[in-house]
Amino acid sequence: MSGRFGRSPRGMQHWLGFLLLLAVLLAIPFVAALGGQAWVRIANFAILYVFLALGLNIVVGYAGLLDLGYVAFYAVGAYCYALLASPHFGIHLPFWVILPFGAAVACLFGVLLGAPTLKLRGDYLAIVTLGFGEIIRIFMNNLNAPINVTNGAQGITLIDPIRIGDFSFAKTSTIFGVTLSGPQKYYFLLVALAALVIVVNIRLQNSRIGRAWQAIREDEVAAKACGINTRNIKLLAFAMGASFGGIAGGVFAAMQGFVSPESFSLMESITILAMVVLGGMGHIPGVILGAILLTGLPEALRYGIEPLQKAVFGRMIIDPESLRMLVFGLALVLVMRFRPAGLWPSSLRRRELSEATD
Amino acid sequence: MKDARIPGVLIVLAASVAMIGCGKKEEPKAAAPAPAAAPAPAPKPEIVVKIGHVAPLTGPIAHLGKDNENGARLAVDDANAKKLEIDGKLVKFELLGEDDQADPKTGTVVAQKLVDAKVAGVVGHLNSGTTIPASAIYNQAGLPQISPSATNPKYTQQGFNTTFRVMANDIQQGSVVGTYAVKDMGAKKVAIIDDRTAYGQGLADEVEKAAKAAGATIVAREFTTDKATDFKAILTKIKAKNPDVIFLGGMDAIGGPMLKQIKELGIKAKFTTGDGGCSPELIKLAAAASEGVICTQAGLPVDKLPNGQKFVEDFTKKYGQIQIYSPYSYDAVMVLIDAMKRANSVDPVKYLPEVGKTSYDGVTGKVEFDEKGDIKNGAITVFEIKDGKLVTLKSEGGTVAAAPAPAAAPAAAPAAAPAAAPEAKK
Amino acid sequence: MDTLLQQLINGLTLGAVYALVALGYTMVYGIIGLINFAHGEVVMIGTMVAFTIIVSLAGSGMPPLLILSVGLLIAVVACMVLGWGLERVAYRPLRHAPRLTPLITAIGMSIVLQNVAMIIWGRNYITFPPMIEKQIYEVAGASFTNVQVAIVVLAALVMIGLTYLVQRTRMGMAMRATAQNQHVAQLMGVDIDRVIAMAFIIGSALGALAGCMVGSYYEIAHYQMGFMLGLKAFTAAVLGGIGNMAGAMAGGLLLGIIEALGAGYIGDLTGNFLGSHYQDIFAFMVLIVVLMFRPSGLFGERTGDRA
């Protein structure tokens, strides 16, 4: 992509677009705050999911390895942060130590998961990764005895917020005359992290490794025949995806100030996968769109479904909350029905699809 | 998750916001934190005070969440029927019910939404896992939060002055059940099962301690999950250990099928459980197999309390069967309103200090808070299921205060059975 | 020893339930390679429909067995319609879509079905009316009920019936042909739309049957019950080799027995370091180990590249 930022007129357009995007990103937390701080929080979770979805995109979208246990790495990252920055063990390390550490541990887990499953394909891999996700969650839920490591189902409280010197992300403060609330500060942190993962994704896409993944995705046997070390390359996909999950987990723990195993259920893995597929697997803008939509839609429905029902039927017919998830489910089905390759698929995929006869 | 119930009262908040009080027009404005929320209304005779309520209304424990919300709704209706006046203005309370899906992340979003909507106080959440992260947000906004069911001790230990709960903690209840099993039921060998939720695990640990202290041996400590329906494997293992009493730390939804399977396996041990299983729901789910079950609830028996009985009648008429925690969410709302009355203000800043000083006779008993916001010395009542009804065996603790009526009724017991008189043992 | 026997009986019953549900997954997977994640919800709808029918007929004075049969029949028919509808509306248009697309559709359908069930049947747990009086038998110190016997027998009958259907009938031949190669099957005159629809219909009927069994065994129903059950059954199907009927059956039974033995003996095996809370981990570990040595499950054939 960077190649496109040339000095040609098209390059200018790209720069303009980039600046516009930057302006929009900067404005979002302030515009959202007009509708209430809740929207800033929603925006934060949306970006956190962009981060997670792009991490999973490496595994599923690029390397074609169906992973239903991605939340395990997210959980590992979150617990790393929680254990190293809370009164639970009385350890309070700064975030810039823990986040890389969490990423490294998650990466290790990624390799641990990857190694025994190298031979597996498709749906067999899916069920093993799913099992792995559950195993991690069950351990977190039960490791409070004989030695209390994770505090079991009760979770870990009073986790330190991200802090730079005296500048804490949890409190409202004023910088250069601009008042920023806690969620707004996290917003900027998250945007910066998301930018990082986007750059990594873009760079990977067209790298040697990226092409090797693509080769494996399309035909593993042929890839091997071409001299690609499929074992290492697949492990690398797991490891990279896992590291991003680990970082996201750390930020989540800091943002929430509390972690417990219920945040890392199978449903979470499925939701992240749905973001990747719904948006357009392997296509960065698509995945971002998918993550934002799937985070935003249920919240928007929360605000919208009651007035909507009143407008259509004149009164409340069904509990708004029952209807909310119903509409969400229907949206998934309908999008897949009418945009089978995702909302914003890469041009390559679209071509494959229209040619596909099988 | 939820824990022991105590006679509690929760409070909710009244919202100070000023919805312009135009006459008596209903303000259905649920969500939309409309930017328009601000213009200070001219002092009119009526103000609308919003109270937030959060519980999971979708997902596996939605039935409990809806129950909580209904309890709070009933409280708001009752309060409105009384046409309260605070600071010279007629107050109309309005409940903003939100769904947190039992998901900590969603919990913080809806918490923020309530803060944006300028509620005056919050009743909720149901699970400890959502209550704790949300409490930081309410605390920053200075809003009192009363949880009707979150029992994780950490909730009130965060150093916040805004966190309260009207539910007894596990320690009180666990020690009553554990001691009762050994002392009164004569158990020498006890088997303990928990469902690995914060509630089940916490309670089971306390029962284990109390039973050991009373001189019994724990012959088995088994585990299941809150979504399981098949317990035969662990029950078979327990059967081999031949315990006198089996204790379950978990909800009625697993207690019901478990009791039936105990019977099918021919296990003779007595079955005991805490408040999560001490409900008409358990009797419904286990049918005949529930006969003889010993269980505990926080609070005093409902039939001793005039307002308790009325609550059961009203609730059942309006929403059907009480699940578990609705009486606590009812009391929580009432405690908030009570504090507003005493402070003569619906402004959280002004009435928050009053919440801590609460002394309120609720439908679950007397509600008073200690310095952390936990309910003070709640009563625990032991029940036995006889002929499909919850029958009081005895009550322990509880402030039988100078109040005219002994406060509290065990909330969940619509079985206003012709029960034996509870000997409120001090 | 009687404890071991009892655990085996426990595991066998649980396994038979898993197997019945797993057959539904495998029916569909074997033919079009789709994981129908909504299958667990079909099972749930089956239970709920049977529940409604049985409860509404309960006061009619009909003999209990007749009521049960009517309830079962209507549930099966309702699920067949549901399965057909799912295929027609949600999956058929996606037959040529990328592989993960129908998976997301299935997840969406599963959310929709759950919420529809919540709106119709409410959020509370429902007591499934016990229609057959439970008889408890004791053999060598282990006890079991007539319902358990019925479940195991029924699972065995279904298995035999399905094998017959697939191996001996024209429809079965068409199914096997479609599974091997849709295009060639079509050239040979097989109406693959019909065959695939049939797979969904039969799978859903099995789901309804399983749902009724689960309902009468545990006597409890809830709109979320399908999820865990579906997940376990799916695991069982993969363990046996997804797409293979004998595999689904074996995988189901095996998973049930592993779970029972795991919960029963894991504590003793590890010196009480790990207890019954690691029962699911135990099951997944077995799964991972099996797949490490047989990457296509116990009975599965190498299906080539599907990712």
* Nearest beta carbon to residue B230 from set C14, C125, C261: C14
Q: What is the DSSP letter of B128?
A: H
A97 burial (CB, 10 Å; 0-12 / 13-18 / 19+) is: exposed
Q: Please determine, for residue A28, whether its predicted confidence score (pLDDT) is greater than 70.
A: yes
Residue A316's pLDDT band, with cuts at 50, 70 and 90, is low
CB-based contact B198 A310, cutoff 8 Å:
no
* pLDDT tens track for C152-187: 999 999 989 998 998 899 999 999 999 888 899 999
Would you state the pLDDT for residue A324? 82
Q: Which domain holds residue B82?
A: 35-168+307-368
Nearest residue on chain C to A272, alpha-carbon basis = C104
Within a domain: residue B62? Answer: yes
CB-based contact B234 C115, cutoff 8 Å:
no
For residues B143 and B121, the answer to whether their CB atoms sit within 8 Å is: yes
- Tell me how far apart the alpha carbons of residues C276 and C263 are, in angstroms, rounded to a whole number: 5
Q: Which domain holds residue C41?
A: 19-243
Q: Please determine, for residue C218, whether its predicted confidence score (pLDDT) is greater than 50.
A: yes
Would you state the pLDDT for residue B9? 33
Question: What are the structure tokens assigned to A264, written together?
Answer: 């890392």
Interface of C with B (CB under 8 A): 3, 6-7, 10-11, 13-14, 115, 118, 122-125, 127, 130, 134, 136, 138, 143-145, 214, 218-220, 222, 224-225, 228, 259-264, 267, 275-277, 279-280
Say whether A10 sits in a helix, a strand or coil.
helix
Residue A9's pLDDT band, with cuts at 50, 70 and 90, is low
Within a domain: residue B26? Answer: no
Which residues pair with residue B89 across a beta bridge?
A: B86
Say whether B36 sits in a helix, a strand or coil.
helix
What is the percent of chain A where pLDDT is above 90?
46
Within a domain: residue C35? Answer: yes
| Structural domains in chain C (count) | 1
Judge if B248 and B352 occupy the same domain: no
The C residues from 96 to 155 touching A (CB cutoff 8 Å) are 96-105, 107-112, 114-116, 118-119
Residue C65's pLDDT band, with cuts at 50, 70 and 90, is confident
Chain C residues touching residue A293 (CB < 8 angstroms): none
Q: What integer best gives the mean pLDDT of chain A?
A: 87
Q: Which amino acid is at A157?
A: T
The neighbours of chain C, by the rule of 3 or more Cβ pairs under 8 Å, are A, B
CB-based contact (8 Å) between A116 and chain B?
Answer: no
Within a domain: residue B415? Answer: no
Judge if B201 and B287 occupy the same domain: yes
- Tell me how far apart the alpha carbons of residues B198 and A157 are, in angstroms, rounded to a whole number: 13
Q: What is the DSSP letter of B197?
A: S
Judge if B84 and B155 occupy the same domain: yes
CB-based contact B129 A262, cutoff 8 Å:
yes
The neighbours of chain A, by the rule of 3 or more Cβ pairs under 8 Å, are B, C
| Structural domains in chain B (count) | 2
Judge if B62 and B98 occupy the same domain: yes
Choose one of B347, B368, B389: the last residue of a domain: B368
CATH of the domain at B119: 3.40.50.2300
Within a domain: residue C203? Answer: yes
Q: Tally C-beta pairs within 8 A across A and C.
A: 150
* pLDDT tens track for C23-38: 999 989 888 888 888 9
Within a domain: residue B418? Answer: no
ipTM score of complex = 0.89
DSSP string, C237-281: HHHH-TT-HHHHHHHHHHHHHHHHHHHHHHHHHTTTSS-GGGHHH
What is the percent of chain C where pLDDT is above 90?
49
The C residues from 201 to 230 touching A (CB cutoff 8 Å) are none
Which of B69, B236, B322 to mutate against chain C (most C CBs within 10 Å)? B236
Say whether B273 sits in a helix, a strand or coil.
strand
CB-based contact A122 C306, cutoff 8 Å:
yes
CB-based contact (8 Å) between A281 and chain B?
Answer: no
Within a domain: residue B17? Answer: no
Q: What is the DSSP letter of A161?
A: P
Judge if B260 and B321 occupy the same domain: no
- Tell me how far apart the alpha carbons of residues C139 and A224 are, in angstroms, rounded to a whole number: 57
* pLDDT tens track for A199-230: 988 998 889 999 999 899 888 889 999 999 99
For residues B150 and B131, the answer to whether their CB atoms sit within 8 Å is: yes
Rg (CA), chain C: 20
Within a domain: residue C288? Answer: no
Would you state the pLDDT for residue B42? 53
CB-based contact (8 Å) between B165 and chain C?
Answer: no
For residues C128 and C221, the answer to whether their CB atoms sit within 8 Å is: yes
| pLDDT average per 10 residues of sequence, chain B (426 residues) | 38 32 37 45 74 90 90 94 89 92 90 93 90 92 92 86 86 87 92 90 91 93 90 92 94 91 92 89 89 87 75 91 87 94 92 92 87 83 90 72 38 39 38
CB-based contact (8 Å) between A262 and chain B?
Answer: yes
For residues B7 and B166, the answer to whether their CB atoms sit within 8 Å is: yes
Q: Which residue in this structure is represented by tokens 């959980």?
A: A75
Within a domain: residue B398? Answer: no
Residue A267's pLDDT band, with cuts at 50, 70 and 90, is confident
Supply the pTM of this predicted model.
Answer: 0.86
Q: Which amino acid is at C210?
A: A
Within a domain: residue B94? Answer: yes
Q: Please determine, for residue A191, whether its predicted confidence score (pLDDT) is greater than 90.
A: yes
CA distance, residue A246 to nearest chain B CA (Å):
17
Would you state the pLDDT for residue C77? 97
Judge if B348 and B260 occupy the same domain: no
Judge if B39 and B143 occupy the same domain: yes
Nearest residue on chain A to B34, alpha-carbon basis = A35
Within a domain: residue C11? Answer: no
Judge if B281 and B339 occupy the same domain: no
Q: Please determine, for residue A163, whether its predicted confidence score (pLDDT) is greater than 70.
A: yes
- Comparing A270-284, B82-96, C78-92, C266-280, the range with the smallest average pLDDT is C266-280
Would you state the pLDDT for residue A315? 67
